[in-house]
């Protein structure tokens, strides 16, 4: 067991973890952060995407011990990162996914939203092709990506797609 200390969605936590524990299992099983999900065992699907120190990572591809000292944001805490957030207000990318029907079953959605936020942080005005390539690490089986691309465009433009 190794002691780790980190911040998850604004909460300071300190836990003993097995060295082999993946970050995603630590989040889900030890912290109850079940908003982040597991879709594969080969780091291909991106369903588990969270932010570690502001950058998107696949949390099934990071050991919990590697996140020691870090700051994690999951889908559950994303809206809280909005400055001067009003009560119940969503993050603009969450809002965009709802507005553009960028989700159906919603299983890929936490990862897809976290990846999209990171994409827009790095490139606030992406082209359609840049969005498509930027989300290549996240699989969705329901939407055919059409409305996911619209959602990212909508969030980027802050206007009707």
Per CB under 6 A, 142 contacts ligand FES: yes
Per CB under 8 A, 147 contacts other proteins: yes
Identify which of 94, 107, 7, 119 has the alpha carbon closest to the alpha carbon of residue 52: 7
Query: What is the pattern of x (binds ligand FES, CB under 6 A) and - over residues 32-51?
Result: ------xxx--xxxxxx---
Distance CA 91, CA 89 (A): 7
Hey, what's the torsion of the CAs at 157, 148, 71, 64, to 10 degrees?
Answer: -170
Per CB under 6 A, 106 contacts ligand FES: yes
Give the angle subtended at the CA of 82 by the CAs of 143 and 74, to the nearest 5°: 55
Three-state DSSP at 73 gives strand
User: Taking CB within 5 to 8 Å according to partner kind, which of ligand FES, other proteins, none is near residue 63?
Assistant: none
Is 67 or 108 the residue whose CB approaches other proteins more closely? 108
Residue 85 DSSP label: P
Three-state DSSP at 5 gives strand
Binding site for other proteins (CB under 8 A): 18, 25, 28, 33-42, 44-45, 47, 74-76, 78-79, 90, 94, 97-99, 101, 103-110, 113, 128, 131-133, 135-149
Binding site for ligand FES (CB under 6 A): 38-40, 43-48, 58, 60, 103-109, 140-143
């Amino acid at each position: 067991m190794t002691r780790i200390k980190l911040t998850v969605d604004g909460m300071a936590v300190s836990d003993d973890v097995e060295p082999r524990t993946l970050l995603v299992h630590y989040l889900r099983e030890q912290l109850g952060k079940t908003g982040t999900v597991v879709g594969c065992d080969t780091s291909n699907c991106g369903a588990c995407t969270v932010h570690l120190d502001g950058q998107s990572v696949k949390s099934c591809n990071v050991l919990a011990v590697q996140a020691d000292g870090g700051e994690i944001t999951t889908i559950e805490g994303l809206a809280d990162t909005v400055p001067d957030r009003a009560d119940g207000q969503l993050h603009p990318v969450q809002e965009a996914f709802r507005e553009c029907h960028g989700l159906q079953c919603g299983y890929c959605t936490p990862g897809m939203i976290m990846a999209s936020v990171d994409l827009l942080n790095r490139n606030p005005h992406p082209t359609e092709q840049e969005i498509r390539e930027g989300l290549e690490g996240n699989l969705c089986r329901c939407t055919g990506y059409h409305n996911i691309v619209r959602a990212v465009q909508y969030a980027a433009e802050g206007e009707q797609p």
